[in-house]
A and B are shown apart, each in its own frame.
Chain A
Amino acid sequence: MRGAAAPDRPSFRLNPFAFPSDTTSRFILLLLFAIAASVLIWSSMAMLGLSLQAGFASCSPDMAATVNTLRDQLGIAMEHLQQGTAIPQAPTVDVAQCYRPLNRRILPAMAIGAGLLASFTLGIWWLHPRWLASRMKLSRLEDDDAPELVAALARICSEAGLRRPPEFYWNPLGMAPRALAYGRAGRYRLALTGAMAMRYSTDPPGFRAVILHELAHIVNRDIDKTWLAVGAWWALVASALVPRVALQFWIPFRWIDVAATLVQVAAIAGLVFVTRNAMLRARELYADARASVWISDSDAMAAALSALRPVRGVRRLLSPHPDPAHRLRLLEATDPLFRAGFWDLLGVGAATSLGAAIIGIVGANVGNVALPGAGWAFLLQFALPVLVITPLASVAAGIIIWRASFASLVRGTQPRAALRGGVAAGLGTVLGTMVAQAGGLPVWVAAGGPSTPPMMAAGMAMWATILFLSPIMGLIWVEAAAKTWIPIALRRTHRGASLKAAVGLNCAFTVPWFALAGPFLLALAVLWLLAPAIVGPILYATFNAFPLNVLGSFSVAATWGFPMAAWLWRRPVTPGIAEWAFLEPPRPALPHLTLPLAPGRSIAIGLAAGMVAGVMLGWVQVPWAPTLNLGVEQTPETTRFVAMMVTAVLVQAAVAALVVFAVSGVRVIQAMFAAFVAGNVLAIALCLQMWEFDPTLIVLCLQVSYGFIIIGGDVAALPSALIAAIIKAGWRRVGSRLGSRESTFTGSSPSQRVPRAAIVADG
């Protein structure tokens, strides 16, 4: 089939195994959903079964009073900050004490839920070979049974290069043609029905295609995941959903409880079922891709796939099998395996926030019961989700974007998955949070449905906004890094460690973004709502206090430094065609791929702008400066100093915007780099101004200003660069529509066409 491809079809297939597959990310997602769902259901069962709603409601603090107390305390703190005196410790009300007995009663239920899910899942995974053998009436296929069949199977196994062939089982009286790879922990089996087995003589190419497909599951290492996923679904049904429904018949009847049960059970069952089947579909597609490489006669593979039952309409989302038409298309081009699916990323977002919320609830319960002091409970509630969930989410979402970027770059188009994917992940994150918060509805109802203070509502709205925007920003950054590192890897014959390291580092770097930047921004936003005057001093104190100033500067440097570091590896030791990027020959050279970085230009603009602005800093400053706690008495000189720092921050924002218009490639990253360069020049220039008063002041000056200028500068440069990039993109779009720009394409086929506009000179 590939040989007979139409001229406008891609002449090469991308290697979907160059990156971790969707099967893995969907599997992790499913496990997260299942665990979160089980704990959530069992905690709601404890609430209903043990009638704990009223207890939780009575412990809930009066939200309006809490907001007022917080505002008063912040006002006092601000006064002390301005006077430079220590902030007095406010008396605290031990709410944790009130919750403790309730926590003690709800925790065992959560533990039972998690324990049952784990044991049922592992049990199904462990026992499935026996269950299948009984269900399919299988027996071991011995040499004596059918020597020619056994020989044919051995031959196919050696074609697949299996180090350890599976054990073959069969039911010679199975009348429907079926083949299935199964097993656990490295001991895999392949089951055949008689109807499938006889094809070794009636249809050898078709038989080979099916067996190779099944062997591909073994090579792709998806069998354990598959049976754990199947186990997780049935375990959830048996250990959580059925008991939840059964409980409803045991407790006193209330319509609200019945409605809540139905909604909860349907939502959770639907979510886990759809995720499980999405994973099962993905594994089939990857097995097809693997098998199609082994099968030189792709007509046989196409014939085997054509014989499968079609999956139409909405069943495509619900079926565990992909539509055969979709599978056939993969024989021509594997590009669909690289798409950043909207629903996949929505799922990642939902799993992240739902999982984080559940872990937070468990952490708070455990902390309050088992650890001394409310601080521990608070720490477990917020730190545990960050430590457990955020890395998983970063890896899952990050890999999806890397894959999509890879496909776009090889095909010669601009990667554009991050924005759409980020919106999906953001929506999912908000959705997951809402589902988790809905779990608190019974308590809210039991408390008499108290109104939410406007301050609290505004805080929640901000939190939702931050949750929505964080994945967008994070994934745009991931895409920028992929844009610079993938061309580097594509200049090498072998993928090597550099790409793996780049993907790993990229995912690791997004963790602080998701985990720390979001809560920090929320805290700032809430502070701004409660006491706007305190935000400036808090920011200054955060950016300039050791070690936050060092860590903060390092983090902002990593933001641009990681993508730009690709430039250092731009010349491969052994250049060649990137064989790893393609499934099979032909493996084309990719002349359109150039590094989208021009660091020389960014440095020049940053240095020049920094020096010009640095010289002018003594005369031109912003007319307004916030009151900051510099640790010295406030004088006109200190106010002027603060104004100069703020000016330095704003100059970096302007430099970032300028660079966006002056360079091509990954503009925002280069803009932030230029802003960093300018920031350093400005920090030195600012402190040189102190030289004329006292040369020894220069060190002190750098201590009190460097962190604020560099971190503040990058924080200001980011939105500035983004806005400039949006304006530039809009401008170019209008220009191209008016016909002022011409697009010239290279490449032999439309799908390989590379707009010249996308070709960027190496810096």
Chain B
Amino acid sequence: MAEVVDQELVADLARDLVGAIAPGELPLFGAMSKAWFADPGRVQTKQGDDVLAFGVAEAAALLSPVLLAAATHALNYAGEELGRNLSTASVAWLREQLRHLFHRQDSGVSLDAQQIAKVRAITLETARRFRIPKQKAEEIADAVTARFAPTS
């Protein structure tokens, strides 16, 4: 069911997260997401050539790559979980329902508490791999899980 999650869906969720957590990055989000989808390996947590560069001593100054990665992993997981019992013809429908879900609109699908906890764990792991400080990682995980939690 990998095809449930496409670039547009990931970008949509990631932009939503950037708007909530790092709104300052929105003007460049388009360029960053384009680069991410072209080659996720371009992400560099510690930038090269500190000998000569003007380098500010600031950790995790850019969150868009983390949020793109978190959105990708969370959506992949959700897509796999929710699409397990669906036929191929329902992929477009599921994609639309996922979009409704993280946009907090009425959706035909939902994740249970265990699955939401798993999304949170995946997001925290992603943030850890990007060497994001714990407090910031928690904030990202909260934001992601909030988008998959059922609307009351």
Docked complex Cα distance between A464 and B61 (Å):
57
Docked complex Cα distance between A191 and B54 (Å):
10
Q: Which chain B residues (12-27) contact chain A, with CB distance < 8 Å?
A: 24-25, 27
Q: Which chain A residues (149-179) contact chain B, with CB distance < 8 Å?
A: 149, 171-179
Docked complex Cα distance between A191 and B44 (Å):
14
B130→A175 contact, CB < 8 A = yes
Contact segment of B35-43, B76-84, B86-94, B111-119: B35-43
> Among B28, B52, B59, B64, which residue has its beta carbon within 8 angstroms of that of A146?
B28
Docked complex Cα distance between A353 and B60 (Å):
49
The residue of chain B having its C-beta at the shortest distance from the C-beta of A309 within the complex is B57
Residues of B within 8 A of A136 (CB): 44, 47-49
Residues of B within 8 A of A201 (CB): 24, 27-28
Residues of A within 8 A of B49 (CB): 132, 135-136, 178, 180
Docked complex Cα distance between A338 and B40 (Å):
48
B121 interface residue per 8 A CB criterion: no
Assess A307 versus B58: contact at CB under 8 Å? Given A173-B42, A178-B47: yes
Residues of B within 8 A of A132 (CB): 48-49
A178→B54 contact, CB < 8 A = yes
The residue of chain A having its C-beta at the shortest distance from the C-beta of B35 within the complex is A172
A198→B65 contact, CB < 8 A = no
Residues of B within 8 A of A172 (CB): 28, 31-32, 34-35, 42
Residues of A within 8 A of B31 (CB): 145-146, 172
Q: Which chain A residues (177-210) contact chain B, with CB distance < 8 Å?
A: 177-180, 182, 191, 193-198, 201-202, 210
B55→A173 contact, CB < 8 A = no
> Among B27, B28, B34, B44, which residue has its beta carbon within 8 angstroms of that of A176?
B44
A603 interface residue per 8 A CB criterion: no
Residues of B within 8 A of A137 (CB): 39, 41-42, 44
B61→A173 contact, CB < 8 A = no
Residues of A within 8 A of B51 (CB): 230, 280, 320
B56→A307 contact, CB < 8 A = yes
> Among A175, A182, A214, which residue has its beta carbon within 8 angstroms of that of B61?
A175
Assess A177 versus B61: contact at CB under 8 Å? Given A145-B31, A214-B54: yes
Docked complex Cα distance between A214 and B56 (Å):
13
Docked complex Cα distance between A320 and B54 (Å):
11
The residue of chain B having its C-beta at the shortest distance from the C-beta of A214 within the complex is B54
B43→A175 contact, CB < 8 A = yes
A226 interface residue per 8 A CB criterion: yes
A213 interface residue per 8 A CB criterion: yes
Q: What is the CB-to-nearest-CB distance from B78 to chain A, in angstroms, rounded to a whole number?
A: 24
Docked complex Cα distance between A280 and B12 (Å):
45
Q: What is the CB-to-nearest-CB distance from B25 to chain A, in angstroms, rounded to a whole number?
A: 5
B62 interface residue per 8 A CB criterion: yes
Residues of A within 8 A of B97 (CB): none
Residues of B within 8 A of A457 (CB): none
Q: What is the CB-to-nearest-CB distance from B80 to chain A, in angstroms, rounded to a whole number?
A: 26
Docked complex Cα distance between A320 and B53 (Å):
10
Q: What is the CB-to-nearest-CB distance from B50 to chain A, in angstroms, rounded to a whole number?
A: 8
Interface string of A87-118 (1 = CB under 8 A from B): 00000000000000000000000000000000
The residue of chain A having its C-beta at the shortest distance from the C-beta of B55 within the complex is A178
The residue of chain A having its C-beta at the shortest distance from the C-beta of B44 within the complex is A174
Interface string of A454-474 (1 = CB under 8 A from B): 000000000000000000000
A308→B57 contact, CB < 8 A = yes
Q: What is the CB-to-nearest-CB distance from A235 to chain B, in angstroms, rounded to a whole number?
A: 16
Residues of A within 8 A of B27 (CB): 146, 148-149, 198, 201
B45 interface residue per 8 A CB criterion: yes
Docked complex Cα distance between A195 and B130 (Å):
14
The residue of chain B having its C-beta at the shortest distance from the C-beta of A277 within the complex is B51
Residues of A within 8 A of B55 (CB): 176-178, 308-309
Docked complex Cα distance between A137 and B25 (Å):
20
Docked complex Cα distance between A172 and B43 (Å):
8
The residue of chain A having its C-beta at the shortest distance from the C-beta of B58 within the complex is A177
Docked complex Cα distance between A196 and B58 (Å):
11
Residues of A within 8 A of B52 (CB): 180, 182, 226, 230, 280, 320
Docked complex Cα distance between A661 and B52 (Å):
53
B56→A177 contact, CB < 8 A = yes
Assess A198 versus B25: contact at CB under 8 Å? Given A175-B61, A180-B49, A308-B55: yes
B62→A174 contact, CB < 8 A = yes
Q: What is the CB-to-nearest-CB distance from A323 to chain B, in angstroms, rounded to a whole number?
A: 13
Q: What is the CB-to-nearest-CB distance from A202 to chain B, in angstroms, rounded to a whole number?
A: 4
Task: Give the residue among B24, B31, B45 with the most A Cβ atoms within 10 A.
Answer: B31
Q: What is the CB-to-nearest-CB distance from A313 to chain B, in angstroms, rounded to a whole number?
A: 17
B32→A194 contact, CB < 8 A = yes
Task: Give the residue among B46, B48, B58 with the most A Cβ atoms within 10 A.
Answer: B48
The residue of chain B having its C-beta at the shortest distance from the C-beta of A307 within the complex is B56
Docked complex Cα distance between A190 and B60 (Å):
22
Task: Give the residue among A174, A179, A226 with the most B Cβ atoms within 10 A.
Answer: A174
Q: Which chain A residues (320-374) contact chain B, with CB distance < 8 Å?
A: 320
Residues of A within 8 A of B30 (CB): 146
Q: What is the CB-to-nearest-CB distance from A227 to chain B, in angstroms, rounded to a whole number?
A: 9
Docked complex Cα distance between A280 and B45 (Å):
25
Docked complex Cα distance between A135 and B42 (Å):
10
Residues of A within 8 A of B36 (CB): 173
Q: What is the CB-to-nearest-CB distance from A140 to chain B, in angstroms, rounded to a whole number?
A: 12
Task: Give the residue among B31, B39, B47, B49 with the most A Cβ atoms within 10 A.
Answer: B47
Docked complex Cα distance between A219 and B99 (Å):
51
Q: What is the CB-to-nearest-CB distance from B15 to chain A, in angstroms, rounded to a whole number?
A: 14
A308→B44 contact, CB < 8 A = no
Assess A202 versus B24: contact at CB under 8 Å? Given A177-B61, A178-B53, A213-B54: yes
B28→A173 contact, CB < 8 A = no
B44→A180 contact, CB < 8 A = no
Q: Which chain A residues (271-306) contact chain B, with CB distance < 8 Å?
A: 280, 304
Docked complex Cα distance between A213 and B56 (Å):
13
Assess A175 versus B44: contact at CB under 8 Å? Given A132-B49, A180-B54, A320-B51: yes
Residues of B within 8 A of A309 (CB): 55, 57
Docked complex Cα distance between A194 and B60 (Å):
11
Q: Which chain B residues (89-146) contact chain A, with CB distance < 8 Å?
A: 130
Q: What is the CB-to-nearest-CB distance from A307 to chain B, in angstroms, rounded to a whole number?
A: 4
B24→A175 contact, CB < 8 A = no
> Among A139, A171, A210, A280, which residue has its beta carbon within 8 angstroms of that of B54?
A210
A197→B61 contact, CB < 8 A = no
A149→B28 contact, CB < 8 A = yes
B47→A176 contact, CB < 8 A = yes
B24→A195 contact, CB < 8 A = no
Docked complex Cα distance between A709 and B49 (Å):
64
Docked complex Cα distance between A226 and B53 (Å):
12
Q: What is the CB-to-nearest-CB distance from A128 to chain B, in angstroms, rounded to a whole number?
A: 10
Docked complex Cα distance between A459 and B43 (Å):
65
Q: What is the CB-to-nearest-CB distance from B46 to chain A, in angstroms, rounded to a whole number?
A: 6
The residue of chain B having its C-beta at the shortest distance from the C-beta of A149 within the complex is B28
Task: Give the residue among A173, A201, A202, A309 with the most B Cβ atoms within 10 A.
Answer: A173
The residue of chain A having its C-beta at the shortest distance from the C-beta of B51 within the complex is A320
Docked complex Cα distance between A308 and B53 (Å):
11
Assess A198 versus B28: contact at CB under 8 Å? Given A171-B44, A174-B62: yes
Q: What is the CB-to-nearest-CB distance from B13 to chain A, in angstroms, rounded to a whole number?
A: 18
Interface string of A568-586 (1 = CB under 8 A from B): 0000000000000000000
Docked complex Cα distance between A280 and B52 (Å):
8
Docked complex Cα distance between A129 and B74 (Å):
38
The residue of chain A having its C-beta at the shortest distance from the C-beta of B48 within the complex is A135
Between A and B, 25 residue pairs with Cβ closer than 8 Å are A132-B48, A137-B41, A139-B35, A146-B31, A174-B62, A175-B45, A175-B61, A176-B46, A176-B62, A178-B54, A178-B55, A180-B52, A193-B62, A194-B35, A195-B47, A195-B61, A198-B62, A202-B24, A214-B54, A280-B51, A308-B55, A308-B57, A309-B55, A309-B57, A320-B51
**Top-4 shortest CB links A-B:** A202-B24, A195-B62, A195-B61, A180-B53
Binding site for A on B (CB under 8 A): 24-25, 27-28, 30-32, 34-36, 39, 41-62, 64-66, 130
If A145-B31, A173-B36 are given as contacts, then 6 extra A-B residue pairs at C-beta distance below 8 Å, sorted by A number, are A135-B48, A175-B47, A175-B61, A194-B35, A194-B65, A201-B24
